């Protein structure tokens, strides 16, 4: 068959496994034969523009649909390329779901290809996941025996491509194959691009004079890399953040001198819910947690960390194995502040020595890390003489500044200069309240230049220590814009109150909560937002006539359903309008997430059953563009928010700004703007928060259970008294325009920064 377009699904270079090395040669053969090759893999990094994602469904489906309609002339499939070993889901059914997604994608790719070669390892057939691919291939082979070929991996790359090319090709060198992969990735926009792999270092070494001092030095480094273990590469990943040499001051209160547990270590234990696993009540438990922290915390959090105790002394002899072992220990502690003190001086001196003294090139440490991390380069010359590459030197500085303080300390990389500006951190693309806050602050602080570096962190208090570790600089001023909804502050929030310089909050309710817990200034700044132009919403799309009164309650499934409490609105609606057929209630939410943590009472399931029997209640589960969602709020008679707790209450605030009457629980964040002059606040009774209703375990928390009868009477009142309804809605709209605009927020921000002496 004269194939022209060939899809290769495999582990791909620069992955160091045997399957990746063979897939590299397969691609080299196919490219040399003039075919168009489209590599795909589930592994990163890879010389591939096509990375397959299997979690979540939203990112998996486009890959599956794209591959299902693709009709390449041939397919080469290595089961390992689908990344079964990369599945990290802890729950059994989630692991099975991800496995099924991989099998389903492979099945579609096999069926859609005119010819396919499945590469298997007989020694792996005892693994069900490997066996299933052989079974799939054999099943298809029964109906189309010429279409499917099974090849043992031990047969080599030439045997794999022979059915496609029609002949067994001549051997290809590893460097030729690697270069073909790099050029293919570069031409197709692959994220892998050109990377400094051990293969390229060996290739650069081969061009040196064998007896030169440089060749001997590079040969020694190659031997160390081989002893390190290429199957374990890449050993260093691009880290998150820009902290280098100094963490925030971190103490742990009363310390056990034998097993120091820092404040951050305690914080991470609460944040990751490890209290039961590591109770810390005895020395054995403390030692177990300290070991877990060193072994797993860097991978868990992905950025630089404070270290409880100085690591054991790291030293090395002159043999490659001894130095490779030392590199493994350095890798283990590379993300920890202060860990460089453990490196024995003679080893440190050897590591930081320049390979070509006086030329301004790389040190041994810099080159070793660049190869072990598969450093990405743009200039091919960096692959030919990597020890002299200024590009690689800059790459190393960027890597260690991004979260490897031990390496930065060893190599003497200074902190990057930080200008006097307000850096706003968080998740700017998030549609959560935190994401909205961050966008709000970016707009409000545009053009404001402080006297010194200021960080404004938009994160929940439990995430503040991590934000500060990613962005800390000595002398910077750290402000946390915090949200919380419960009367009790969890243990995972407490470290934020010790490390921040200032706390900003959006409501008097949150201010009261944190003032009682923290000894830092807690300042009310409110919120400020300007809504975009709304897209008018036609209620007839939901079967509602223009003259029908309609209430709206809405929530996001990503939030806590128990806290938003939509069932209260449904029950009050039925109580208020029993026997009345003209009134409607819309329950607007996002698509349901099965077994979501935030719906322990199964409110959504109950609402579904009620709506199935009461046609006046419309359960609408869909995503709406924001402008269209605002149009829906603007079109209804009133918005109902029967929340049990709100840090601020964006939805009632949006409705008030649009001039839509608001009925809400008279509790928590909404009390700042939902008064009996601007809205319809409803009384409530205190209710203890039950186990499972809060994201963090809380022992004495309570929230508000709205009075259902009072809510029903208020809904009746809103319909009966249009004059009062319109008056309160107009007053609420004026309050929003006056106190909750972007301009008002900017004035409050600037006033507080001035009071702090920062501007």
Predicted pLDDT of residue 433 = 65
Q: Please enumerate in sequence order all residues whose Cβ is within 8 A of that of 286, keeping only pairs 6 or more positions apart, or say none.
A: 256, 259, 261, 278, 280
Distances (CA, A) of 163 to 2, 33, 154, 176: 10, 13, 16, 22
Residue linked to tokens 């060939």? 6
Could you tell me the end-to-end alpha-carbon distance of the chain, in angstroms, rounded to an integer?
A: 72
Structure tokens at 256: 């056990």
User: Distance between CA atoms of 742 and 749, rounded to whole angstroms?
Assistant: 10
pLDDT score of 1 = 47
Q: Are 682 and 666 in contact (CB under 8 A)?
A: yes
Query: Token pair 């008056």 is at which residue?
Result: 727
Q: Please work out, in degrees rounded to the nearest 5, the angle formed at the alpha carbon of residue 189 by the alpha carbons of 40 and 10.
A: 15
Domains of the chain (ranges; CATH) run: 5-195 (3.40.50), 205-247+304-411 (no CATH), 422-524 (no CATH), 539-740 (3.40.50.2000)
Long-range contacts of 625-629 (CB under 8 A, 24+ apart): 625/535, 626/532, 627/532, 627/533, 627/534, 627/535, 628/535, 628/537, 629/588
Contact 638, 584 (CB under 8 A): no
Burial class from Cβ neighbours inside 10 Å (0-12, 13-18, 19+) for residue 283 reads exposed
Helical packing angle, 283-301 and 320-333, nearest 10°: 90
Nearest to 300 by CA among 323, 267, 330, 276: 267
The answer to whether residues 645 and 486 touch, using CB atoms and an 8 Å cutoff, is yes
The CA dihedral of 216, 217, 223, 226, to the nearest 10 degrees, is -130
Helix (H, G, I), strand (E, B) or coil at 71: coil
- For residue 234, say if its preceding peptide bond is cis, omega within 30 degrees of 0: yes
Query: What are the helix (H) ranges across 345-495?
Result: 345-352, 364-372, 381-384, 390-401, 405-411, 433-444, 464-471
* Strands ordered across the beta sheet of 638-641: 617-621, 584-589, 550-555, 638-641, 662-665, 680-682
pTM for the structure as a whole: 0.79
- Which of 280, 36, 282, 360 shows the shortest CA–CA distance to 293? 280
Q: What angle do CA 645, 649, 650 make, to 5 degrees?
A: 150
Count the alpha carbons within 13 Å of 198 in the hemisphere toward its beta carbon: 22
Cβ-Cβ contacts under 8 Å for 106 (sequence gap 6 or more):
9, 77, 79, 82, 133, 136
Predicted pLDDT of residue 255: 58
Distances (CA, A) of 32 to 27, 35, 110, 115, 548: 8, 8, 24, 19, 71
Contact status, residue 665 vs residue 642, Cβ threshold 8 Å: yes
- Residue 56: asked if its preceding bond is cis (omega within 30°), the reply is yes
pLDDT less than 50: residues of the chain:
1
Predicted pLDDT of residue 484: 92
pLDDT at site 213: 93
| CA distances for 282 relative to 273, 279, 607, 674, angstroms | 18, 8, 48, 50
């Amino acid at each position: 068959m004269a194939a022209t377009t060939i899809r290769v699904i495999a582990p791909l270079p620069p992955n160091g496994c045997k399957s990746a090395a063979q897939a590299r040669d397969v691609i080299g053969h196919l490219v040399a034969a003039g075919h168009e090759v489209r590599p795909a893999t589930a592994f990163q990094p890879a010389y591939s523009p096509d990375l397959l994602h299997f979690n979540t469904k939203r990112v998996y489906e486009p890959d599956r649909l794209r591959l299902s309609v693709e009709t390449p002339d041939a397919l080469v499939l290595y089961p390992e390329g689908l990344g079964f070993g990369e599945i990290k889901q802890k729950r059994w059914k989630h692991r099975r779901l991800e496995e099924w997604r991989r099998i389903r994608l492979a099945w579609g790719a096999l069926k859609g290809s005119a010819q396919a070669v499945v590469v298997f390892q007989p020694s792996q057939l005892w693994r069900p996941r490997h066996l299933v691919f052989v079974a799939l291939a054999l099943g298809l082979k029964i109906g189309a025996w010429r279409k499917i070929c099974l090849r043992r991996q031990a047969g080599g790359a030439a045997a794999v491509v022979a059915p496609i090319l029609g002949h067994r090709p001549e051997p290809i060198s590893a460097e030729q194959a690697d270069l073909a992969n790099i050029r293919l990735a570069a031409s197709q926009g692959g994220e892998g691009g050109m990377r400094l792999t051990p293969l390229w270092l060996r290739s650069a070494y081969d061009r040196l004079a064998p007896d030169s001092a440089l060749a001997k030095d590079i040969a020694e480094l190659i031997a160390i890399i081989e002893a390190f273990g290429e199957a374990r590469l890449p050993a260093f990943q691009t880290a998150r953040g820009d902290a280098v040499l100094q963490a925030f001051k971190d103490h742990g209160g009363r310390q056990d001198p034998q097993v120091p547990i820092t404040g951050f270590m305690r914080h991470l234990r609460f944040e990751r819910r490890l209290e039961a696993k590591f109770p810390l009540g005895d020395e054995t438990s403390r030692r177990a947690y300290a070991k877990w922290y060193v072994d797993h915390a860097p991978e868990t959090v992905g950025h630089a960390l404070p270290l409880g105790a100085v690591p054991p002394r790291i030293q090395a002899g002159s043999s490659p194995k001894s130095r490779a072992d030392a590199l493994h220990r350095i890798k283990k502690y590379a993300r920890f502040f202060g860990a460089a003190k453990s490196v024995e001086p003679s080893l440190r001196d050897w590591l930081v020595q320049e390979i070509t003294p006086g030329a301004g090139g790389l040190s041994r440490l810099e080159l070793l890390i660049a190869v072990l991390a598969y450093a990405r380069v743009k200039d091919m010359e960096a692959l030919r003489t990597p020890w002299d590459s200024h590009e690689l030197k800059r790459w190393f500085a960027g890597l260690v500044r991004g979260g490897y303080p031990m390496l930065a300390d060893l190599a003497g990389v200074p902190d990057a200069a930080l200008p006097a500006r307000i850096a706003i951190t968080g998740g700017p693309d998030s549609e959560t309240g935190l994401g909205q806050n961050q966008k709000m602050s970016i707009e409000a602080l545009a053009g404001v230049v402080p006297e010194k570096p200021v960080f404004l962190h938009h994160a929940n208090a439990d995430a503040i220590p991590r934000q500060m570790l990613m962005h800390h600089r000595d002398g910077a001023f750290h402000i946390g814009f915090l949200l919380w909804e419960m009367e009790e502050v969890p243990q995972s929030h407490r470290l934020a109150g010790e490390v921040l310089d200032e706390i900003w909050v959006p409501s008097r309710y949150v201010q009261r909560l944190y003032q009682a817990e923290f000894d830092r200034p807690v300042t009310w700044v409110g919120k400020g937002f300007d809504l975009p132009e709304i897209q008018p919403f036609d209620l007839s799309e939901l079967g509602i006539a223009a003259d029908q009164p309609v209430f709206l309650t809405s929530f996001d499934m990503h939030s806590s359903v128990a806290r938003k409490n939509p069932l209260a609105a449904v029950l009050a609606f039925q109580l208020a309008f029993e026997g009345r057929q003209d009134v409607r209630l819309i329950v607007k939410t996002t698509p349901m997430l099965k077994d979501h943590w935030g719906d322990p009472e199964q409110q959504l399931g109950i609402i579904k059953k009620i709506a199935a029997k009461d046609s006046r209640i419309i359960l609408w589960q869909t995503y709406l563009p924001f402008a269209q969602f605002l149009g829906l709020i603007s079109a209804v008679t009133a918005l109902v928010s029967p929340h049990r707790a709100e840090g601020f209450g964006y939805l009632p605030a949006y409705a008030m700004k649009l001039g839509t009457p608001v009925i809400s629980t008279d509790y928590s964040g909404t009390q700042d703007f939902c008064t009996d002059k601007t809205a319809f606040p409803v009384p409530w009774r205190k209710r203890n928060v039950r186990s499972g209703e809060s994201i963090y375990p809380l022992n004495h928390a309570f929230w508000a259970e709205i009075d259902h009868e009072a809510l029903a009477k208020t809904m009746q009142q809103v319909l009966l008294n249009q004059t009062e309804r319109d008056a309160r809605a107009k007053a609420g709209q004026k309050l929003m325009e006056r106190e909750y605009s972007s301009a008002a927020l900017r004035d409050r921000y600037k006033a507080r920064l001035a009071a702090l002496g920062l501007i």
